[in-house]
Amino acid sequence: MALPENIVLPRHIGIIMDGNGRWAKKRLLPRTAGHVQGAKAFRKCLRHCIDLGIECVTFFAFSTENFKRPPEEVNAIMKLFSDYLDEGLDMSEDDVVMRFVGDLSRFSGELREKMLRMQSETAGNHGTVCCLAVNYGGRDDILHAAKQLISEGADPDTLTEDDISEHLYTAGLPDVDLVIRPSGEQRISNFLIWQSAYAEYVFMDVLWPDFSENDLDLALTEYAKRNRRFGGL
């Protein structure tokens, strides 16, 4: 489908990449095959966001709880991250600003270094900001911000919501306007809970590895129909 020319687009989209395991199970494949396909869907979706001129998109790639999965699965996902970082951005992505949001301290030193390198190498770019939420939890994000503010000696009498926003892993990025969750689940799962306080949610039945450009267009069309009031009338 083609999007109407003057459609209202979100500035910041959050995407919960869910359903990789079920995608693999349906095909009698190991769960890790679902993650491999999920990584391809991620690249395809990012390219479409770039083509549409989306300012910022955050993909939920690994939650703080995902470390509880069997080591084979965790290692397979770490390998996908590592391969992605080694491959680097391709030509269609060369103006992307990459950010890794989450507590990076639990990753191996090598992986963390690669993430920080990609982050600093793309920091001066001017295109779509792509955040990968890794070892990310919304509550952990807020706790981490609170600890930072306390260590900086923040004054409780003058502390503002903006101060908190500016200490989250997503500091400097606009609030999330649209959260897309594929795979039929209708949960927030601790994803960008502060940043998406006024977001629109679009839940879709497609499993993440099958998520196509058309699915993103459908979600954007649904978003454009919503009447956002931010608590007003």
Which residues contribute to the site for ligand FPP (CB under 6 A)?
Answer: 17-22, 35, 38-39, 42, 61-62, 66, 77, 80-81, 84, 132
Nearer to ligand FPP, 132 or 220 (CB): 132
> What does residue 63 show for φ and ψ, rounded to 5 degrees?
-90, 165
Length of the chain: 233
User: Rounded distance, CA 203 to CA 208, Å?
Assistant: 12
Reported as type and span, the H/E element at residue 133 is strand 129-133
Nearer to ligand FPP, 164 or 219 (CB): 219
Q: How far is the CB of 50 from ligand FPP (least distance, A)?
A: 15
Nearer to ligand FPP, 39 or 111 (CB): 39
**Number of other residues whose CB lies within 10 A of the CB of residue 122:** 20
Q: Is 163 in the active site?
A: no
Contacts of 76 by beta carbon, 8 Å cutoff, 6+ apart: 32, 35
Q: Is 18 in the active site?
A: yes
Q: How far is the CB of 53 from ligand FPP (least distance, A)?
A: 21
Contacts of 117 by beta carbon, 8 Å cutoff, 6+ apart: 85
Q: Which entry of 51, 66, 140, 163 is annotated as an active-site residue? A: 66
Q: Which entry of 6, 18, 177, 210 is annotated as an active-site residue? A: 18
Q: How far is the CB of 193 from ligand FPP (least distance, A)?
A: 18
Q: Is the dihedral of CA 209, 34, 103, 139 positive or negative?
A: positive
Do 211 and 47 meet the contact criterion of CB atoms below 8 Å apart? no
Q: How far is the CB of 101 from ligand FPP (least distance, A)?
A: 12
Nearer to ligand FPP, 137 or 167 (CB): 137
* Residue 17 one-letter amino acid: M
Q: Which residues are marked as active site? A: 18, 66
